[in-house]
């Protein structure tokens, strides 16, 4: 364990963003009110955004405004900075080609392939970290980890042809970990988990040449294909995008989900609380932000140890309050019921409550600006991944071998920071709301009596018209949470069951849709089903890698009906997406046969050919395509229309 800097050193190096921005602080209350209303529908975020505007503490919305107007070539996907002959912008007329001769179709498709591969790499590298942890739990080298779900370990080992009868759990964990690590570069030219897809869906992949061969191979091949001079056929480039995305959904992400369940427990229905009101004035507050539960699970363990609780008492706190943010927040909410402080755009605001002793991060979706925000308060930003170092943070070299002892050191430091809290800056904006989560496929299946057949029957009978997966992020181009919440409310009203992950799930949780009582907001059929099962009409299925749970659910439904996934009355939506990971998710939804509506236009408008392929042509290839619709009410219409068409085609 290596600590590279001390809090005092950080403070000397960093200026509080408010000091630099004091001249930008807004004093006009009417202007502040207007801006706040434009930025979010999250009621507890509003007073903190107002305070940030008054005090000049910078947020994502301010930076977005400062970046306007955006470059129209970058927005259209027609700028290219890949090689040293450029940069180039593709402009109609004399500049219709870059220096190398690439036209708009090639530049746009190459940029999109790069985006998909980046997202697939992020999910899959997270998956590899988890799989390595399983392997090292098996060899006994990982500190603090155990196999929690032995039944799932054996079930997945059986999928890999690994004998389990009469063997030690650790031996099975080691062998399964090894087999999964090999999936990243497997020579067998398919991923074992892709065999979960219906044979008819796999036949489509084979026919289109997009069956993923291994995780690393698809990502590396994509990186090869975006090098200048490696082909110029935009269709071929986009099909590689689909294959790479499939290696994420049915590979890297699915491994992350399944092995996290084995190590930390398969989620079961639980009740907790959500929004910025989960932060407690009289407790040591520690926020866990990022993605990989390897770290957060160890922090949870350490924070519950008696000597840590004793230390908290000694510094004058009533206890240690852990709160989650973003997908790490979803991981520990699903499995441990740890309260969630919010989604992507709540991360800076959580610091602005002035009551966070530490924010512990690993990787992905962490604003590089957090140390600047934290410098205005007493909050320590603790980074923990060698892949994601952040100037201005305290870095702890977290690894499997030192996991629990590092977690203890971090928690201890956070507790000792409690007396440094600047009491006049504490502003906890209100009370949290209830949230019910933990809907893994295993839990849903058990609730349905051991099979998905009752769900298929409810869909066939028309009580539930179909299902929609609402996933993804926040983006300042959309009013915070408005896209997610409006779409989900509209769909449940139309008897369409919503399953959600990532920041979408947190948005709807904050809006009160993830409790059984929300059945009253659903249409008659869905409402009746939810009341009889005691479930919400919007089901929280986990973090973004847990979109792979949605794939497994789709495979189960399709296999029950004996059809390919593209024939199901289902759809996907990413109303507020921002991340490359979300592009990979959207692409593997579509490549798996799921019509998917995006609320934010991807950077493809510079190529009518690429738009046409993605929004129409893919229907002939994989039985599904994308649509782009910023208005969530119109998106609900598109989804409803699609679901009704699929029902008709199935004769239900």
Q: Is the dihedral of CA 152, 155, 161, 165 positive or negative?
A: positive
From the list 579, 584, 596, 607, which residue makes contact with ligand BF8 (rule: CB under 6 A)?
Answer: 579
Using the rule CB under 6 A, give the single segment among 23-31, 159-167, 385-393, 576-584 that binds ligand BF8: 576-584
Q: Angle, nearest 10°, between helix axes 293-303 and 326-336?
A: 60
Return the number of the residue (133 or 543) whose C-beta is nearest ligand BF8. 543
Reference 354, options 278, 282, 422, 252; nearest CA is 422
CB of 330 to ligand BF8, least distance (A): 7
Per CB under 6 A, which of residues 485..504 are in contact with ligand BF8?
A: 502-503
Reference 153, options 251, 254, 252, 261; nearest CA is 261
Return the number of the residue (176 or 551) whose C-beta is nearest ligand BF8. 551
Return the number of the residue (128 or 344) whose C-beta is nearest ligand BF8. 344
CB of 364 to ligand BF8, least distance (A): 6
Residue 326 makes contact with ligand BF8 by CB under 6 A: yes
Residue 324 makes contact with ligand BF8 by CB under 6 A: no
Instruction: In whole angstroms, give the CA distance from residue 95 to residue 97.
Output: 5
| 55, 205, 347 from 186: Cα distances, Å | 54, 18, 38
CB of 473 to ligand BF8, least distance (A): 3
Residue 569 makes contact with ligand BF8 by CB under 6 A: no
Query: 497 with 526: CB under 8 angstroms?
Result: yes
Distance, CA of 240 to chain centre: 23
CB of 113 to ligand BF8, least distance (A): 19
Residue 581 makes contact with ligand BF8 by CB under 6 A: yes
Reference 123, options 262, 249, 263; nearest CA is 249
Residue 419, both tokens: 């007396």
From the list 89, 128, 344, 489, which residue makes contact with ligand BF8 (rule: CB under 6 A)?
Answer: 344
Residues 6+ apart with CB under 8 A from 22: 56
Using the rule CB under 6 A, give the single segment among 383-391, 439-447, 578-586, 604-612 that binds ligand BF8: 578-586
Per CB under 6 A, which of residues 539..558 are in contact with ligand BF8?
A: 543-544
Residue 414 makes contact with ligand BF8 by CB under 6 A: no
CB of 446 to ligand BF8, least distance (A): 27
156-161, long-range: CB < 8 A, 24+ apart: 156/258, 156/262, 159/192, 159/193, 159/195, 160/192
From the list 117, 327, 499, 611, which residue makes contact with ligand BF8 (rule: CB under 6 A)?
Answer: 327
CB of 470 to ligand BF8, least distance (A): 11
Residue 582 makes contact with ligand BF8 by CB under 6 A: yes
Using the rule CB under 6 A, give the single segment among 196-204, 242-250, 446-454, 574-582 that binds ligand BF8: 574-582
SS (H, E, C) 346-403: HHHHHHHCCCCCEEEECCCCCCCCHHHHHCCCCCEEEECCCCCCCCCCEEECCCHHHH
β-strands 358-361, 270-274 pairing:
unpaired
Residue 472 makes contact with ligand BF8 by CB under 6 A: yes
Reference 623, options 200, 189, 116; nearest CA is 200
CB of 342 to ligand BF8, least distance (A): 10
Instruction: Tell me the number of residues near ligand BF8 by CB under 6 A.
Output: 15
- Work out the angle at residue 497's Cα, subtended by the Cα atoms of residues 496 and 499, and round it to the nearest 5 degrees: 135
Residue 475 makes contact with ligand BF8 by CB under 6 A: no
Residue 525 makes contact with ligand BF8 by CB under 6 A: no
Query: 275 with 342: CB under 8 angstroms?
Result: yes
Residue 473 makes contact with ligand BF8 by CB under 6 A: yes
Contact residues toward ligand BF8 (CB under 6 A) are: 291, 326-327, 343-344, 365, 472-473, 502-503, 543-544, 579, 581-582
């Amino acid at each position: 364990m290596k600590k590279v800097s001390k809090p005092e050193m950080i403070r000397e190096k960093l200026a509080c963003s408010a000091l630099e921005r004091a001249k930008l602080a807004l004093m006009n209350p009417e202007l502040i009110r207007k801006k706040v209303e434009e930025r979010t529908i999250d009621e507890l975020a509003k007073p903190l955004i107002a305070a940030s505007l008054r005090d000049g503490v910078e947020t994502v919305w301010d930076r977005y405004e400062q970046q306007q107007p955006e470059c129209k070539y970058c927005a259209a996907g027609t700028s290219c900075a890949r090689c040293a002959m450029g940069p180039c912008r593709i402009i109609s007329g004399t500049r219709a080609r870059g220096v190398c001769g690439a036209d708009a179709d090639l530049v746009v498709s190459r940029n999109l392939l790069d985006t998909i591969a980046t997202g697939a790499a992020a999910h899959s590298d997270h998956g590899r970290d988890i799989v390595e942890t399983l392997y090292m739990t098996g060899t006994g080298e990982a500190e603090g980890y155990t196999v929690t779900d032995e039944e799932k370990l054996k079930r997945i080992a059986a999928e890999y042809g690994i004998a389990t009868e009469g063997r030690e759990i650790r031996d099975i964990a080691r062998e399964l970990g090894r087999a999964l690590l090999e999936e990243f570069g497997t020579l067998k030219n398919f991923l074992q988990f892709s065999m979960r897809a219906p044979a008819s869906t796999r036949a489509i992949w084979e026919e289109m040449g997009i069956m993923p061969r291994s995780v690393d191979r698809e990502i590396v091949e994509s990186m090869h294909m975006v090098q200048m001079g490696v082909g110029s056929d935009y269709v071929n480039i986009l099909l590689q995008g689909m294959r790479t995305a499939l290696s994420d959904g049915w590979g890297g992400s699915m491994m992350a989900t399944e092995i996290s369940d084995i190590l930390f427990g398969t989620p079961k229905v639980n009740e907790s609380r959500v929004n910025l009101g989960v932060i407690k004035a009289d407790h040591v507050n520690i926020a866990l932000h990022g993605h990989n539960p390897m770290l957060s699970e160890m922090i949870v363990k350490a924070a519950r140890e008696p000597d840590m609780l004793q230390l908290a008492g000694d510094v004058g706190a009533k206890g240690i309050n852990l709160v989650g943010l973003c997908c790490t927040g979803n991981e520990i909410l699903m499995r441990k019921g740890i309260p969630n402080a919010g989604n992507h755009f709540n991360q800076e605001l959580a610091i602005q409550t002035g009551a966070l002793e530490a924010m512990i991060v690993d990787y992905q979706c962490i604003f590089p600006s957090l140390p600047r925000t934290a410098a205005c308060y007493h909050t320590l930003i603790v980074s923990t991944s060698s892949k994601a170092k952040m100037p201005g943070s305290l870095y702890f070299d977290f690894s499997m071998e030192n996991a629990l002892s590092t977690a203890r050191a971090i928690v201890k430091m956070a507790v000792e920071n409690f007396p440094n809290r600047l009491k006049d800056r504490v502003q906890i904006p209100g009370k949290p709301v209830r949230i019910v989560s933990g809907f893994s496929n295993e839990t849903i299946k058990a609730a349905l009596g051991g099979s998905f057949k009752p769900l298929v029957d409810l869909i066939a009978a028309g009580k539930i018209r179909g299902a929609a997966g609402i996933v993804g992020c926040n983006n300042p181009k959309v009013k915070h949470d408005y896209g997610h919440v409006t779409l989900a409310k509209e769909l449940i009203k139309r008897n369409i069951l919503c399953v959600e992950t990532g920041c979408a799930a947190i948005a709807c949780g904050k809006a009160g849709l993830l409790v059984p009582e929300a059945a009253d907001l659903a249409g008659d059929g869905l409402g009746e089903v939810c009341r009889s099962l005691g479930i919400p009409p919007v089901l929280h299925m986990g973090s973004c890698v847990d979109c792979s749970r949605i794939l497994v659910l789709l495979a189960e439904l399709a296999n029950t009906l004996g059809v390919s996934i593209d024939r199901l009355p289902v759809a996907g939506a990413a109303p507020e997406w921002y991340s490359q990971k979300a592009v990979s998710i959207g692409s593997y939804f579509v490549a798996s046969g799921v019509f998917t509506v995006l609320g934010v236009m991807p950077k493809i408008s510079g190529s009518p050919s690429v738009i046409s392929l993605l929004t129409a042509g893919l229907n002939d290839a994989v039985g599904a395509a994308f649509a782009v619709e910023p208005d969530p009410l119109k998106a609900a219409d598109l989804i409803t229309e699609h679901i009704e068409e699929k029902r008709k085609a199935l004769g239900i």
